Amino acid sequence: METRRGWKRLATMGAAAVVLAGGAGAAVAVERTAGHAARVPAAVDAVAPAKAPGRATTAPGSRIVRPYQPVGIGQGAVMALLPEGRQNYVVAWTDVREAVEQARGMVGDDIRPESLSGGIAVDGADVLYTGAWRTSTPPARITVRTADGTERDAGVLSLPGRPGWGTYYLDAAGAGTPRGAVTITAYGPDGAVLATLAYELPPAGR
């Protein structure tokens, strides 16, 4: 499901825009009212779930979570990691159990070793960053830096047993619609850079 410049689209019914970059697949996003998900290839932007208003939260750092465990990631969204597939996870605004059942049959991100995938969901001034990491050393820290120079720490999740992958998320509620480049960087326990993903956001109105 590679597309031009690495962009992919995942669509659901709703009011906000979501953009995904990196990797060969995508997390499943679940529409906030109808409770279903869809994958739509080969596009730059898409419609994504309307989300309940939220405020920015402090990222909890690196956490090990159980398979399928729902983790609140802000703005009414929940993330869960699946042991099936490759870098397979869901982001849901409704029934996370339904999202997990749908994702069991999906391949997941299947990103390259020592790399990251990434995406953003934008609803007015509220932005939610999510993605997956696949590194031989589990990241101790993942940051999200926008074109204006603002850098924030993301929450980092992984499954037990050092599976070699996990996810990250950043609730940037109230930060405003980002413009230009976004850079995601994963750091090891010693501060060394493990992987970097940089992508340019589409112009406003696309």
Task: Kindly report, residue by residue over 185-194, the tens digit of the pLDDT.
Answer: 999 999 999 9
The token pair that represents 177 in the structure block: 């619609």
Residue 122, Ramachandran bin (φ over 0: left; ψ between -120 and 50: alpha; else beta): beta
Using the predicted structure, report yes or no on whether residue 85 has a pLDDT greater than 70.
yes
User: Which residue bears the tokens 């820290």?
Assistant: 141
Residue 70, Ramachandran bin (φ over 0: left; ψ between -120 and 50: alpha; else beta): beta
Q: For the segment 98-141, what is each residue's pLDDT rounded down to a tens digit?
A: 889 888 878 777 899 999 999 899 888 999 999 999 999 999 99
User: Which residue range forms the structural domain that includes residue 86?
Assistant: 4-49+56-200
- Residue 5, helix vs strand vs coil: helix
CA dist., res. 91 & res. 84, Å (int): 16
Radius of gyration of the chain (CA): 15
In a domain, 84, yes or no: yes
Question: Could you give the number of structural domains in the chain?
Answer: 1
Q: For the segment 91-108, what is each residue's pLDDT rounded down to a tens digit?
A: 998 888 888 988 887 877
In a domain, 85, yes or no: yes
Check residues 140 and 38 and name the one with the higher pLDDT.
140
CB atoms within 10 A of CB 58: 9
Predicted confidence at residue 108, as pLDDT, reads 78
CA dist., res. 25 & res. 116, Å (int): 12
- DSSP letter assigned to residue 192: -
Confidence at 204, pLDDT banded by 50, 70, 90 = low
Check residues 77 and 6 and name the one with the higher pLDDT.
77
In a domain, 108, yes or no: yes
Mean pLDDT over 156-178 rounds to 93
The token pair that represents 54 in the structure block: 């939220």
In a domain, 27, yes or no: yes
CA dist., res. 121 & res. 178, Å (int): 11
CA dist., res. 96 & res. 72, Å (int): 11
In a domain, 171, yes or no: yes
Confidence at 167, pLDDT banded by 50, 70, 90 = very high
Using the predicted structure, report yes or no on whether residue 33 has a pLDDT greater than 50.
no
In a domain, 205, yes or no: no
Q: Render 69-132 in DSSP notation, one character per residue.
A: --EEEETTEEEEE-SSSBS-EEEESS-HHHHHHHHTTS-B--PPTTEE-EEEEEETTEEEEEEE
Predicted confidence at residue 195, as pLDDT, reads 97
The token pair that represents 183 in the structure block: 């850079």
Name 40's Cβ contacts closer than 8 Å, sequence gap at least 6: 9, 10, 11, 46
In a domain, 206, yes or no: no
pTM: 0.75
In a domain, 157, yes or no: yes
